[in-house]
Amino acid sequence: MLIGAYESENRISVSVAALKPIGYTVYCRYFDKSGTEHEKPMKSFIYPLFVVFCDRKSSETYRIAITDGSSGEVLEQFQMLVTRWNEKQKRPLTHCSAPIFGKEPKWLHLVEMIEHYKLQGVSKFYFYVREIDPYDMLLLQHYSAKREEVELIDIPSIYFDAVSQQLLAIADCHLRNRLSANWTIYSDIDERMIMTDEKETILQFLQESLGEKYGAVMFAQRWIFKYEKLPAKFINYQQIMEEMPTRKWQLTTQPGVNCTDGKHCWGKMIINNQKVLQMLIHDVGEYEKGYIPFILEPDVGYIRHYRDVNLGKWWERNRGAMEKFEPFENTTYNSYLSSQLLSNVLQILHEVYNHF
C-alpha cells in the first residue's frame, strides 16, 4: 500500500506501507493520465525505511506504483497519484503529529495544541489517524474543511505496534514537507514546544538565530504531570478555562538532559526539510551533506509535555526515570500568550461544537 508520492526536480519519492526491510528490491512503475504504463520500470529499493526513491522520467507521469517485479498488470487502486509542489510557495513552518489512536478524549488536547503552534508560526498541520472518536474527528474535519489548516491521513491497519505506525507517519510527513515547507515540528498532541523569551516565537528563532550548518533543532522535555483525563465533551467556556492543560497543570520536572546517549532524554526535533534525509521519532536518522543538529539549551526553549500519569500506568513504569529530573516545581505557560490562546481555543470550540 502506498501512502503518497511526491515529485521533485529529479525524482519521485514514494512512502510505502510495507513490511519490507531496508535494501529490499522493488520496481518503480510509471503511468500516464490514461492509465497506460508509459516508461520502462526502474529498479530501486527501500531506503530509508518506508521510502522508495524513483527517478523522475517524464512530466507525463500521472500515477506511480511500487511492485516486487518489473512486469505484470498493476490495478489502478494500487497506483498513487503523483503530488507536485510549487517550490516557490514553501510554508515557513509546519507540524507533523504522531499517529492518533486510543479511546481517551482528545478534542481539548487537539484544539489547544493547534492554536498554540499557530501562535508560534505554524501554518499547516498533518495528522495521521488510526483510531479516533467521531467527536474528536469533528474538530479536525473543521480545521481541514473550513480553515484548510489540517490535512488528515489514514494509517493502514497493517501495523499494530505504535513504533512502526509512528515511523511510517514520520517518513510520509517528511516527504510531504520536503519541498513544501522550510521547517517542520515533530511532536505529540500533548507536547507544547515553547521559547522562554515569552515574546519570541519558534518561527522567529528558526529564522533569526540559526547558522546555515544546522539541519535540526533539539528541544528538551519538561514533563508536566497531568492527573485526570480530559473532559469527554465541550460544555461551556468556564469548563475550558478550568480544564485546558496549559491552565490547569503546573507540577513540572527539571529539563530532560544528560541521558546515557548524551543527546537527549526523549526530546523532540524541528527539522529543516531540505537538510534531512531520514527522520526518526526523537532524532534525525541521517542528514544531507554533513549538516548537524543544534541542541537547544532548556533556558532558551523546551517542551511542556502534559503527561497523563495514569494512562497506561505511565508513572508506575517511568517513576525511576522521572525522579532523575527532580526537584519538581510549579511552572506556568507563557503569560504573554495565555489569554490569546484561550480566546482562540474558545472561538474554535464555538464554531465546532456550539450546536451540540
Please write the tens of the pLDDT for every residue from 277-326. Answer: 999 999 999 999 899 999 999 999 999 999 999 998 999 999 999 999 99
Q: Is the pLDDT of residue 263 over 60?
A: no
| Whole-number pLDDT of residue 89 | 82
Q: Is the pLDDT of residue 354 over 90?
A: no
Distance CA 161, CA 323 (A): 28
Torsion sign (Cα): 141, 225, 122, 130? negative
H helix intervals, 105-148: 107-119, 134-145
Please write the tens of the pLDDT for every residue from 182-223. Answer: 999 999 999 999 999 999 999 999 999 999 999 999 999 999
| Whole-number pLDDT of residue 259 | 73
14: phi then psi, degrees, rounded to nearest 5: -120, 130
Please write the tens of the pLDDT for every residue from 251-262. Answer: 999 999 877 554
CB–CB of 136/160 below 8 Å?
no
The mean pLDDT of 69-86, rounded to a whole number, is: 93
Please write the tens of the pLDDT for every residue from 141-196. Answer: 999 998 899 999 998 877 668 888 899 999 999 999 998 999 999 999 999 999 99
Distance CA 106, CA 12 (A): 35
Q: What confidence tier does 18 reach under pLDDT thresholds 50, 70, 90? A: confident
C-alpha cell at 178: 520536503
| Whole-number pLDDT of residue 355 | 63
User: 25: closest CA among 3, 43, 50?
Assistant: 43
Amino acid sitting at position 152 = L
| Whole-number pLDDT of residue 162 | 82
Q: Which residues contact 58 (CB under 8 A, 6 or more apart)?
A: 30, 38, 39
User: 101: closest CA among 187, 168, 16, 189?
Assistant: 189
Distance CA 60, CA 39 (A): 10
Distance CA 340, CA 356 (A): 25
With b for 16 or more beta-carbon neighbours within 10 A and e for fewer, the 168-188 pattern comes to bbbbbbbbbbbbbbbbbbbbb
User: What residues does 49 pair with on adjacent strands?
Assistant: none
Return the number of other C-beta atoms located less than 10 Å from residue 294's C-beta. 17
pTM of the model: 0.94
Q: Is the pLDDT of residue 350 over 60?
A: yes
Torsion sign (Cα): 294, 255, 206, 279? positive
Matching CATH number, 92-353, of 1.20.950, 3.30.200, 3.90.550, 2.40.128? 3.90.550
C-alpha cell at 346: 474558545
